[in-house]
Amino acid sequence: MIQIAIVEDDAAERQRIGQCLSYLEQTENLHFSITEFSTGTAFIGNYRPDYDIVFMDIDLPGMDGMETAKELRKMDPTVILIFVTNMAQYAIQGYEVDAMDFILKPINKYSFAMKVKRAAARTTRRADDYVTLRTERESRNVRIAAIKYLEVTGHYVVFHTTEGNFTEYTTLKEAYGRINREFFVHCSRSFLVNLQYVESVNKDTVTVGGEELNISRPQRRSFLAAMSEYMGGRR
């Protein structure tokens, strides 16, 4: 089941997207669960990183689509984002928020189907992107892309995520072995940072998902090198 969010203020356009997705369900081996939002503010205010694909209008009331997309990327750097708009002049700005594609209005269901099938193929990699955390009370599957950073505290590791913080009795080395993603980098012996959530880097600190962490002197050079390589790869 592919989780879809439609962020569109026009009810007729939301219905049209829903009809195109229904057409795909009838003609392809695809199944969708759809949640609709009429404003960017409502979408961001209720966001959980469970969606696979987000369809977003640009000309939204209040917080427009580009502003909404920038807020989305702070919470979920990897969700597939597709703009659905009649404002083709904004296409170039899509690179700023890592939009996968643009669908122009009025929507052509055949063109729409082609682009959605391509997006759906990419969602398969997200399905395996989970790590099981064993806390004192429960075992919980957490999406790796939702992890902002890991913190060592005594004999425990705290997983700071967009879904909350979870503490597990383990070592940082063991935890990293289960995550095993190149965009997780040490900024000190106590912190393992997801570079996708880095907002700024100062002389001795890095801001990750709104929280300021210390960069240790031994890790500074390697951390900055990893950050530079990561940013270069996103251009």
Number of continuous H segments (helices) and E segments (strands) in the chain: 6, 15
**Whole-number pLDDT of residue 170:** 94
Mind listing the domains of the chain with CATH numbers? 2-127 (3.40.50.2300), 130-234 (2.40.50.1020)
| pLDDT on residue 144 | 87
Q: What angle do CA 121, 123, 128 make, to 5 degrees?
A: 120
* Contact between 219 and 185 (Cβ < 8 Å): no
- Six-digit token string for 88: 């083709």
pLDDT value for 4:
94
Q: Residue 152 phi/psi, 5° resolution?
A: -85, 130
Strands in the chain per DSSP E: 2-7, 32-37, 53-56, 80-85, 101-104, 130-134, 139-143, 147-153, 156-161, 164-169, 184-186, 191-194, 198-201, 205-208, 211-214
The pTM (predicted TM-score) of the whole model is: 0.58
What pLDDT tens digit does each residue of the chain (235 aa) get? 788 999 999 999 999 999 999 999 999 888 899 999 999 999 999 887 778 899 999 989 999 999 999 999 888 888 899 999 887 666 666 777 888 888 888 999 888 999 999 898 877 555 557 888 988 888 888 888 889 999 999 999 999 998 899 999 999 999 998 887 788 999 999 999 999 899 999 889 999 988 999 999 999 999 999 988 887 755 4
Structure tokens of 49? 């990183």
DSSP track, 123-180? HHHHHT-EEEEE-SS-EEEEEGGGEEEEEEETTEEEEEETTEEEEEES-HHHHHHHH-
Q: How far apart are CA 193 and CA 34, in angstroms?
A: 32
Q: Which residue has the tokens 């219905």?
A: 15
Contacts of 125 (CB under 8 A, 6+ apart): none
pLDDT at 80: 92
What is the per-residue pLDDT for 235? 42
Q: What is the DSSP letter of 196?
A: G
| Number of Cβ atoms within 10 Å of the Cβ of 108 | 12
Residues, the chain = 235
**What pLDDT does residue 159 have?**
97
**Residue 48 buriedness (CB in 10 A; 0-12 / 13-18 / 19+):** exposed
